[in-house]
A and B are shown apart, each in its own frame.
Chain A
């Protein structure tokens, strides 16, 4: 092993670890021993393996730690690096340092970081949010439904339904069939409410689902429909949001995004503003296009099975869209702050109708559901 005892001599400063005195010193390293020479003191020798060398930091003096708490610092980075390579110390962190000193590596790191971040935002957060939504216990969901309904009632979003008791009973009975088909073990219930009960937050003709299985439909939507099949198409769509937990996943996703933003931009957004944003995200949210399509597919399956056609949902979607464009002269309804605003202002109604038509065509070609 003792082939060529290349020794390395380093000039630097020595601290004995017992006082803060800095003393000029020379450290000589060969493969077996280290020798420290300090002016006015006897030379000190140590076996090589008892020495430590601290990981390199760009632009900072290199430090060799000596037995007994002493410390030798030198600007001779090349010398220390050569010794590190020869003895195989700090391999990983020397590699990190090599990356840190090159601009191309920094650019690559930037690319990797942005890529990882983009992947996390695009796939990681939605997947985690979906898992979290499915993992959320049903009791929590029920509480969540109850509290949201209270908020909506208090905020004059809707009032008690003006439909006759008989009409309400019919609709609820029909919904029970939809709910039984939808499954998932949720305690489904249909709430009929007047969406124009005087408040400025009126929902108009609308329907939405809450994560615990509560589905709300307004009198105005009931009035807009020409048949109950249309309404059941809408309600089946809503059960699709429940069974896929779109609502809660959306909330978790917004939370995750807000968290990422906070981490990136530093502490400017305090935890307070962060918490305040949660109810807003909940109420404004709406669903993504993908979630709408998924719920449409659920509804389409139900209608194909029950009615043999997806036409009812198509017609009511088209009518809602038409009503909206006719009413665009009175912006109070179109641009009002509607919550869970899935049917009305969601873009892409023609695409959704098209998709339902395709489902129907496919369903007829292959009658096995």
Chain B
């Protein structure tokens, strides 16, 4: 997978060692493994000021400043992420992003407005079909954009995933997943992560994803079990409570139920519980997938990542973060973002059998900002 011609000779040799080693364990003393902890040095107070000032500027400029705000927020997080004494850098061009945003917004307005009138409905239909057909392309564009604008040690990341691969990972798998009533959903996650992992490159060093589909099913089943068990734990007492209420007040018109305080309280509690259950299950899938992917990534045959964070702890952080955001009407967002990033990055280790300053620059993978703008504005979940 690595192209020997473009790699420094040392890297290539050590890559050979790594490939001949047993996959799960260390190469036994052939090369010394150096561990580089990843760390995050952002601070909630500092980020809060950046965040709120950029929000205010976005309001004041009626949204035109939005791409600059987005880029600055990202730059803060990238710039405070460190591996081996060097930080990351986000290099997107806000002006290009703004053009992308405006184009996407214009298309969206055209879609929404033309859908309203019978005579122009066909425009909306055409736009919807084009969007569905181009969706994998947009995802690919977005990944290329993100990768090529991520810089570490002066080298850009790249994304070399093919268009065909994108259609398999983001159209075919989703179709199969919906036809199979979700049975193939973990397989879809696997295919998408594999597409992302295998396409990634740092400089000229290609990444490989050594994962398998099985663990994704394990993650999916755990989340499903969690949802079912949680549903029973929440549903049974609520049902009992409702039954007790109706039993006690059997002479009262059922419509009165809506105004009875215990009933409303129970309904609100049930709704909140379902919401929390949803967040828990989904965050578990995200956290566990991220940990699994990180544990199975390899870069140029010489660098591997290891996740030591716990998906369950991440779930706890996500749930409490959501609660904090709701209770503070969003004002705690900077704190929650810093808290989560610090935990995740603090739980990642980079393990290398070659010095990290031995990578070479690569070419290709440039992308326009359109895909990125589309995926951000239309809230496409690219994941990772």
**Interface, chain A (partner B; CB < 8 A):** 13, 15-22, 54-55, 57-61, 63, 69-71, 93, 96, 99-103, 105-106, 108-110, 112-113, 116-117, 136-137, 139-140, 200-201, 264-266, 268-270, 273, 331-332, 335-337
Contacts and interface: CB of A to CB of B under 8 A. Distances in A.
Interface of B: prevailing SS: helix
A125 to B, nearest CB: 15
Interface in B119-178: 152-155
Given A59-B80, A136-B116, A16 B325 contact: no
Given A19-B357, A19-B359, A270-B278, A58 B255 contact: no
B76 A58 contact: yes
A109 B56 contact: yes
Interface in B237-284: 253-256, 258-259, 275, 278-279
A113 B255 contact: no
A265 B324 CA distance: 9
B57 A268 contact: no
A59 B82 CA distance: 13
B232 interface: no
B33 interface: no
A203 to B, nearest CB: 12
A59 B41 contact: yes
Contacts of A19: 8, 155, 203, 357-361
A287 to B, nearest CB: 20
Given A21-B358, A112-B59, A140-B116, A15 B253 contact: no
B118 A96 contact: no
A268 B155 contact: no
Interface residues on B, range: 35 or more
A19 B153 CA distance: 8
A105 B275 CA distance: 36
A99 B333 CA distance: 19
A224 B85 CA distance: 82
A103 B59 contact: no
Contacts of A108: 56
B54 A96 contact: yes
A59 B86 contact: no
7 contacts: A20-B358, A20-B359, A99-B49, A106-B52, A110-B52, A112-B60, A337-B255
B73 to A, nearest CB: 10
A63 B89 contact: yes
A17 B50 CA distance: 29
Contacts of B152: 20
B60 A266 contact: no
Contacts of B49: 58, 99-103, 105-106, 109
A17 B203 CA distance: 9
B116 A22 contact: no
Contacts of A100: 49-50, 53-54
B225 to A, nearest CB: 21
Interface string B35-53: 0000001110010111011
B384 interface: no
Nearest to B356: A20
A22 B330 contact: no
B154 A265 contact: no
Given A18-B361, A335-B256, A113 B322 contact: no
B70 interface: no
B29 interface: no
A140 B331 CA distance: 39
Interface in B311-366: 322, 325-326, 329-331, 333, 356-361
Nearest to A99: B53
Contacts of B331: 110
Highest count of chain A CB atoms <10 Å: which of B49, B68, B356: B49
A99 B254 CA distance: 58
Contacts of B46: 58-59
A280 to B, nearest CB: 12
B101 to A, nearest CB: 15
Contact of B330 (A63, A116, A264, A335): A264
B43 A22 contact: no
B228 to A, nearest CB: 19
B17 interface: no
A139 B152 CA distance: 57
Contacts of A57: 50, 72, 75-76, 79
Given A93-B72, A100-B50, A331-B256, 4 more contacts: A17-B361, A59-B43, A103-B49, A266-B330
Contacts of A103: 49
A140 B361 CA distance: 57
B192 interface: no
A140 B330 CA distance: 36
B57 A15 contact: no
A15 B152 CA distance: 10
B154 A16 contact: yes
Contact of B59 (A13, A69, A113): A113
Report which residue of A93, A112, A200, A269 has the largest number of chain B beta carbons within 10 angstroms of its beta carbon: A112
Contacts of B305: none
Sort A-B residue pairs by CB-CB distance and give the 7 closest, nearest first.
A15-B154, A60-B79, A109-B56, A332-B253, A20-B153, A116-B59, A20-B359
A140 B118 CA distance: 9
For A19, A22, A266, A269, the residue with the greatest tally of chain B CB atoms inside 10 Å of its CB is A19
A219 to B, nearest CB: 20
Nearest to B56: A109
B87 A61 contact: yes
Contacts of B234: none
Nearest to B202: A20
Contact of B329 (A13, A136, A264): A264
A250 to B, nearest CB: 19
A65 to B, nearest CB: 9
Nearest to A120: B59
B275 A268 contact: yes
Given A96-B53, A268-B325, A20 B116 contact: no
Contacts of B359: 19-20
A20 B79 contact: no
A71 B326 CA distance: 42
A109 B52 contact: yes
